[in-house]
């Protein structure tokens, strides 16, 4: 069996994602579709609208065969680290190809990767965004800038893939949906941006969602509690006001001096949105600030995140019979640890950060996210 890999968030899974799943198998002829999916905390530094178990089950019901969790120490990171974590996991699972959406799939990402490789410096300075540093280097090397979110992510996939001993085949496809920033669902459209889908769900505008999400996604949105930053604001505010400033300065992605600004604004702010707007300056993007806020809420320090990134692992969230067969095929050759459930020992050591992230999410969600949870086992999808 051969597998094609996808790196996803499914926040929540909509028709554009279902198209991606179907198209990936069509383009590659793969026997198995492997999905690496962010857990309960996402790349833009926000909680997932639905928990990881619900989103994994939706993925399996709409074309995925095997769903692996992208650990929080890669999921809530800038594009280059998010991409690196996902590519590492798909490579470990012996996927032969990776299919991903891009705004401009016709771009020669391979050429851009090669052109910037010799000039690429250290893009980890948190006093400037990764995108700013990256585009400065890319512009100098090629005359090209990448402003669209998924084009940037596509470049990062190519860069991470080239670092592998045995690179996979990368296949960019045109995104079948509106731009990420689009907040409205167009009348009569079958596709909408994730932003628009979430906004409609929070507004309980179920009629507009019917045409742009699968039926099971709509059912999940209408029957489960939906998470957003506002739910976690009291916990974040408490952390920022009570943790010693010397410790908060060690949070992952924290820039020098930002910890003082965040603590001051936490005293004044009346909501999470108010807090982020008060902390915002030209120096920081909203996404960057949300990721720092996530690190503060989850008490993730830069040292422990970087240590964890050197020890990636495969956490199974679910599979179909085909996915189970593929996992059995590659299991003995896996270069990374494989986990199907978290026990007391794992939660204290190897999977500590994901367990911590799940426990905080559980404060609002109310459902156990990790301890002794078993992967979904769904029947094969017909048609």
pLDDT tens, residue by residue, 60-77? 999 999 999 999 999 999
The residue-averaged pLDDT of 176-183 equals 61
Q: Are 174 and 102 in contact (CB under 8 A)?
A: yes
Helix 258-268 to helix 229-242 angle, to the nearest 10 degrees?
Answer: 110
Q: Which domains does the chain have, with CATH numbers?
A: 3-181+192-203+307-377 (3.40.50.620), 229-304 (no CATH)
pLDDT for res 13 = 98
Q: Residue 12 annotated as binding?
A: yes
Is 62 annotated among the ligand-binding residues?
Answer: no
The answer to whether the CB of 320 falls within 8 A of the CB of 381 is yes
C-alpha pair distances (Å), 260 with each of 241, 255, 280, 373: 10, 10, 13, 39
Q: For residue 33, list its beta bridge partners.
A: 4
Q: Are 299 and 323 in contact (CB under 8 A)?
A: no
With a pLDDT cut of 90, the percent of the chain lying above it is 77
Residue 106 annotated as binding site: no
DSSP state at residue 382: P
CA distance 257 to 177: 39
Mean pLDDT of the chain: 91
The answer to whether 8 is annotated as binding is: yes
What is the tens place of the pLDDT at every residue in 301-349? 999 999 999 999 999 999 999 999 999 999 999 999 999 988 888 888 8
CA distances from 156 to 81, 119, 200, 297 (A): 8, 15, 31, 27
328 marked among binding-site residues:
no
CB-based contact 230:207 (threshold 8 Å):
no
Q: Are 296 and 248 in contact (CB under 8 A)?
A: yes
pLDDT one-digit tens code per residue, 227-238: 999 999 999 999
pTM: 0.93
Does the annotation list 15 as a binding residue? yes
Lowest mean per-residue pLDDT among 91-105, 152-166, 171-185, 197-211: 171-185
**11 carries a ligand binding annotation:** yes
Q: Answer yes or no: is 20 a known binding residue.
A: yes
What are the Cα distances from residue 238, in Å, to 24, 44, 194, 229, 255?
Answer: 44, 22, 30, 14, 20
> Following DSSP, what letter does each residue of 289-356 receive, concatenated?
HHHHHHHHHHT-BHHHHHHHHTS--EEEEEE-HHHHHHHHHHGGG-SS-EESSB-HHHHHTTTHHHHH
Least reliable range by pLDDT among 2-11, 152-161, 211-220, 309-318: 152-161
358 is in an annotated binding site: no
Question: Is 85 marked as binding a ligand?
Answer: no
The SS3 call for residue 236 is: helix
361 is in an annotated binding site: no
């Amino acid at each position: 069996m051969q597998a094609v890999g996808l790196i996803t968030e499914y926040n929540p899974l909509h028709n554009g994602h279902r198209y991606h799943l179907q198209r990936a198998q069509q383009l590659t002829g793969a026997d198995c579709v492997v999905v690496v999916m962010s857990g309960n905390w996402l790349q833009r530094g926000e909680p997932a609208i639905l928990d990881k178990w619900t989103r994994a089950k939706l993925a399996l019901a709409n074309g995925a065969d095997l769903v692996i969790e992208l650990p929080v120490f890669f999921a809530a990171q800038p594009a280059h680290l998010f991409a690196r974590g996902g590519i590492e996991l798909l490579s470990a699972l012996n996927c032969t190809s990776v299919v991903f959406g891009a705004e401009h799939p016709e771009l020669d990402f391979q050429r851009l990767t090669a052109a910037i490789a010799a000039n690429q410096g250290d893009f980890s300075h948190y006093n400037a965004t990764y995108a700013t540093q990256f585009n400065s280097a890319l512009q100098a090397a090629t005359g090209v800038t990448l402003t669209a979110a998924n084009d940037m992510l596509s470049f990062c996939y190519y860069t991470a893939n080239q670092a592998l001993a045995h690179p996979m085949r990368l296949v960019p496809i045109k995104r079948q949906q509106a731009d990420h920033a689009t907040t409205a669902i167009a009348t009569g459209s079958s596709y909408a941006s994730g932003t628009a889908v979430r906004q409609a769900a929070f507004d309980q505008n179920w009629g507009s969602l019917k045409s742009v999400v699968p039926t099971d996604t709509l059912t999940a949105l209408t029957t489960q509690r939906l998470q957003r930053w506002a739910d976690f604001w009291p916990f974040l505010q408490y952390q920022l006001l009570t943790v010693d400033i010397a410790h908060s300065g060690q949070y992952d992605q924290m820039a020098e001096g930002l910890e003082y600004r965040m603590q001051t604004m936490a005293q004044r702010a009346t909501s999470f949105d108010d807090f982020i707007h008060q902390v915002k300056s030209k120096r920081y993007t909203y996404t960057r600030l949300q990721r720092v806020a996530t690190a503060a809420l989850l008490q993730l320090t830069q040292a422990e995140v970087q240590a964890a990134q050197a020890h990636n692992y495969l956490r199974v969230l679910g599979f179909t019979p085909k996915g189970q067969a593929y996992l059995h095929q590659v299991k003995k050759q896996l270069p990374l640890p494989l986990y199907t459930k978290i026990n007391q020992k794992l939660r204290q050591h190897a999977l500590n950060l994901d367990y911590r992230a799940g426990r905080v999410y559980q404060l609002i969600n109310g459902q156990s996210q990790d301890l002794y949870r078993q992967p979904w086992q769904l029947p094969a999808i017909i048609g």
